[in-house]
Amino acid sequence: MQTDDEKITATNAAEKLRASPKKGCSCDSLAVGRLEPCTLVIFGASGDLATRKLIPALFKMFVAGSLPGSFAIVGCGRTEMSGEEFHNRLEGLLEKQKDFDGRHWRSFASCLHYHPLAYTSESFRKLAAYLRDLDKTAQTDGNYLFHLAVPPTLYGVIGELLGEAGLSHEKREGKGWTRIVVEKPFGHNLQTAVELDTTLHRSFEEHQIFRIDHYLAKETVQNVLMLRFANAIFEPLWNRNFIDYVGIIAAESLGIEQRAGYYEKAGVIRDMFQNHMLQLLSLTAMEPPARFEADRVRDEKVKVFQAIRPFSLKPDDNLVLGQYEDGNINGAAVPGYRGEEGVNPKSLTPTFAMMRLFVDNWRWKGVPFHLISGKRLQRKVTRIVIQFKDVPHTLFENVLAEHITANRLEMGIYPEEAIRLSFQTKNPGPRLCLKTMAMDFEYSRNYKGSGFDPYAKVLLDCILGDQMLFWRQDGVEASWGLLSPILDDCEQCRGRGERLHPYAAGSWGPELAADQVKKIIGHDH
Ligand code: BG6
């Protein structure tokens, strides 16, 4: 186990790296020598997450020189296959990606291993021996990062087996750190989230546990704090005196793809609100921490969750739940949710939600936060909107026929990564007319390169031991606690069917939520 001093040293190392650009280091990549050697063990290595997200991100990091000099990846799974078969399978998948640079594949593959594994004590003891041998050949110094790219039911099981096999201990033979990366969902509700945490804590300490939310690693999401706290002009206005409402939307045109088994149990509240949507809300609403450090930032986020008014299911405009029916996306007919493969034809799982929340603190009292997310909506749009209040007095009343449109700040996360501030100008000409114009900042126009892939950022931070962009357990519990009344209502109440409003695939969701959606999507509606 790490002593307190060692933990502080790990935190300091991450803080120093964050500050490194000041010392002349490039912002695009990290000098390889700074990263400690390590072995990344991916459980569920032949699964969707590992092959679609993790391995491509690791390959990009390798090409960009952002992996440690001594590094090994061990894919683990129940499927029996040789290292060569594993390589061939991954190469085949990567080749289909448009930016695949085949020249680097061979050297990347030389640090890629496969180790078949069963979820038993004996198999994990063998894994421990295998990793010890690999430490010597790959010179990875006994540092292990365990990534759980497996179904959530296995998170606790693997945590315990790692503990039993002695793989959760740090400083084995005087050296080596161990970290465990847990994907969402962290639990199915408050009780199971607490149980999972208790299980993991039997083998791991809090500083070893990394609870992922890939939204936090998106460049534009990270930028919310920079925009707010690295500029003096926004913060004085960022409160109930000037802001009318906040809108946060994550609309998707995709359906549930091949994930019926998972989605039927999760629904939109667990899939998007308990994690991504509440994180976006907390970044928008939090107070400035005294220092940009993982725990100081996470303290402030938790305070936001704790300040959110306990959810009331009445009146109706606090919550609209929906489920998509047959419709059209980009001109192609798509089936309704109940017609998707693997979905119960009478399913009551919501695929859309609009939620109105209030943060009851000095800054935000009375300002509604409208959170909207849904599958099979017209387009994929992810955006945070700060709608400012109307001017307090219209001195142009006598000469202007029109209402003066209030200022608006949009933080675009997808498809445009952008910041847009709209304001009023005089339309040139003899008559006094106003025109809404915008100051626009677009990442793609202003920064070269494709940015850092969110999964690459997440993996890099795990190697660095930096927990800034990961959930802390108190936040997880606060968010489950907040959503419990809704989940109970969705899952247990008799009138559940009546609460679920149908919407056509390719629309902007149920009619009942149309006004709110329109307010947030605005001119794009
Ligand atoms: C995942 C959800 O966490 O986020 C998916 O499980 C959803 O259902 C996805 O499609 C959206 O992520 P992104 O990065 O595409 O906006």
Residue 86 Cα to ligand 1 middle (Å): 27
* CB 252 near ligand 1, within 6 Å: yes
What is the predicted pLDDT for the residue at 363? Answer: 98
Ligand 1 and 213: CB distance under 6 A: no
Query: Ligand 1, atom 15: nearest CA belongs to which residue?
Result: 252
Phi, psi of 71 (to 5 degrees): -150, 140
Collapsing DSSP states into helix, strand and coil, what is residue 383?
strand
CA 202 to centroid of ligand 1, rounded, Å:
30
61 burial level (CB within 10 Å; 0-12, 13-18, 19+): buried
Centre of ligand 1 to C-alpha 486, Å, is: 21
Q: Looking at ligand 1, which atom is closest to the CA of residue 276?
A: 3
Instruction: Please choose from 216, 252, 270 the residue to mutate so as to test ligand 1's pocket, defined by most ligand atoms within 8 A of CB.
Output: 252
For residue 36, report the distance from its CA to the centre of ligand 1, in Å: 31
| Residues counted in the chain | 525
pLDDT confidence of residue 9: 42
**Facing residues of 421 across strands?**
409, 439
C-alpha angle with apex 315: 314 to 319, nearest 5 degrees?
80
Report which protein residue has its CA nearest ligand 1's atom 4.
272
| Closest ligand 1 atom, residue 252 Cα | 10
Q: What is the pLDDT along the chain (525 residues), one digit of tens a residue?
A: 444 444 444 444 455 545 544 443 455 555 444 789 999 999 999 998 999 899 999 999 999 899 999 999 999 999 999 999 999 999 999 998 877 888 999 999 999 999 999 999 999 999 999 999 999 999 999 999 999 999 999 999 999 999 999 999 997 666 799 999 999 999 999 999 999 999 999 999 999 999 999 999 998 999 999 999 999 999 999 999 999 999 999 999 999 988 999 999 999 999 999 999 999 999 999 999 999 999 999 999 999 999 999 988 776 678 999 999 999 999 999 999 999 999 999 999 999 999 999 999 999 999 999 999 999 999 999 999 999 999 998 888 777 777 899 999 999 999 989 999 999 999 888 888 889 999 999 988 888 766 678 899 999 999 999 999 999 999 999 999 999 888 887 776 566 778 899 999 999 999 999 989 999 988 555
276: annotated active-site residue: yes
> What is the maximum alpha-carbon separation in the chain?
85
Q: Which ligand 1 atom sits nearest the alpha carbon of residue 454?
A: 14
**Cα-to-centroid distance, 375 and ligand 1 (Å):** 10
Cβ(271) to ligand 1 under 6 A? yes
Global confidence as pTM? 0.90
The minimum-distance atom of ligand 1 relative to the CA of 413 is 16
Write out 113-169 in H/E/C secondary structure: EEEECCCCHHHHHHHHHHHHHHHHHHCCCCCEEEEECCCHHHHHHHHHHHHHCCCCC
Distance 510 CA to ligand 1 centre (A): 21
Which one, of 68, 73, 76, lies nearest residue 39 by Cα? 73
Instruction: Say how many Å lie between the CA of residue 377 and the centre of ligand 1.
Output: 14
Pocket residue to mutate for ligand 1, from 249, 271, 373, 376, most atoms within 8 A of Cβ: 271
Q: Do 209 and 353 meet the contact criterion of CB atoms below 8 Å apart?
A: no
Q: Candidates 186, 257, 276, 458: which one to mutate for ligand 1, based on the most atoms within 8 Å of Cβ?
A: 276
Q: Which residue out of 113, 188, 214, 276 is catalytically annotated?
A: 276
Q: Which atom of ligand 1 is nearest to the CA of 380?
A: 16
